[in-house]
Structure 1
Amino acid sequence: MFTKIDEFVQEFEMESAVTMRVLDSLTDESLTQAVSANQRTLGQIAWHLVGSIYYMTYLGLSFDEPLKDNGAPASAAEIAGEYRRIGQAMLRAVRSQWTDESLGQVVNIGGEDWQNGASLRYTLRHEIHHRGQMTVLMRQAGLRVPDVLGPTRDDWIDKGMEPYA
């Protein structure tokens, strides 16, 4: 759970930069990649990441820019741009509407009590989870996966090294 706004902002900015590397690697063609029939596509998961940031409004935050909610765009660049925009709107809302003390406040969501600081942590974990799903689908779509937490297989090959199996 986060107890300091600055700690959340720092971690969100770091994780957001990694997510942006993933989103910026998508192509319009790759957005239709799914692991199997009746599963979310790569584009739907990417768009879900955008929308999930906006879920913070359920905790009482008011964003100065609303989410463009007209379904998953067919443009990878549009998804990435909307992620950047709504992420910055969320940071402005957290910085201007919450304090370190309000991170301990409890909000009932769907019958469950959530502390604001715990909700911020969950938001990051949720993003990281779906980012991992996206990298698998990117490989299936034939895309190069960017560095997420260290060199990728492709990075090792580019350096003339044998990648780990």
Structure 2
Amino acid sequence: MFQSIEAFKQTWTFESGSTQKLLDVLTDESLKQQVAENHRTLGELAWHIVTSHHEMLSRTGLKFDAPAMDSPVPASAAEIAAAYRQSSQGLLEALSAQWTDASLQESCDMYGEQWTNSQTLYAVAAHEIHHRGQMTILMRQAGLRVSGVYGPSLEEWEAFAEGGVS
């Protein structure tokens, strides 16, 4: 869990940057990619990531501008990427303005359990990492290039091995 707002901000800056790189590669056509019938499309999954920041953190009382969880999935990949950029930045700005390190130890109801704000921030990041991994599978199925996160992707590794820059 996070012991300071600054520790979360450092983690979030890296993780949200990695997510943003993936979202920026999406195309309008790729948003329809689905692993199987009755599963989220790539667009639905990407939009879920965008809207979940606000949905989870609004339960703590943190206020920032972001699309609502029940808002319709945009048909435009660029709109999804832009909404994520706004939501992610809004989250960081709200934390700086509305919380202190002491706020991290405050508890609130989170899906029927009592979580500290620190736990909630961790869950927001982990939730995004989980769904980002799902996105990369759908992106590959859609023929999109996937960027590395915790190391190089296959394409980046191949370019590196060939002496190229990716």
State whether TM-score is above 0.5: yes
Shift of residue 66, structure 1, vs aligned partner: 4.2
Pick 1 or 2: higher relative contact order, CA cutoff 8 A, min separation 6.
Answer: 1
Percent identical:
49
Shift of residue 154, structure 1, vs aligned partner: 1.4
Determine if contact 1:5/1:95 at 8 Å carries over to the other structure: yes
Any idea what SS the aligned residue of 1:61 has? coil
Which residue is equivalent to 1:119?
Answer: 120
TM-score, normalised by the number of residues in structure 1: 0.92
Which residue is equivalent to 1:74?
Answer: 75
State the 4+ residue runs in structure 1 displaced beyond 3 angstroms: none
- The one-character-per-residue Cα deviations of 1:72-112 (angstroms, maximum 9, x if unpaired) are 11111110100000111111111111110110011012321
- Give aligned pairs, total: 160
Which residue is equivalent to 1:5?
Answer: 5
Any idea what SS the aligned residue of 1:18 has? helix
Determine if contact 1:25/1:146 at 8 Å carries over to the other structure: no
Alpha-carbon distance between aligned partners in 2 of 1:77 and 1:70, rounded to the nearest angstrom: 16
TM-score, normalised by the number of residues in structure 2: 0.91
Which residue is equivalent to 1:30?
Answer: 30
Determine if contact 1:34/1:41 at 8 Å carries over to the other structure: yes
Which residue is equivalent to 2:131?
Answer: 130
Alpha-carbon distance between aligned partners in 2 of 1:110 and 1:139, rounded to the nearest angstrom: 33
Shift of residue 149, structure 1, vs aligned partner: 1.6
Which residue is equivalent to 2:91?
Answer: 90
Listed as ranges, the gaps of 5+ residues in structure 2 are none
Any idea what SS the aligned residue of 1:59 has? coil
Alpha-carbon distance between aligned partners in 1 of 2:4 and 2:116, rounded to the nearest angstrom: 13
Determine if contact 2:66/2:83 at 8 Å carries over to the other structure: no
Which residue is equivalent to 2:42?
Answer: 42
Which residue is equivalent to 1:60?
Answer: 61
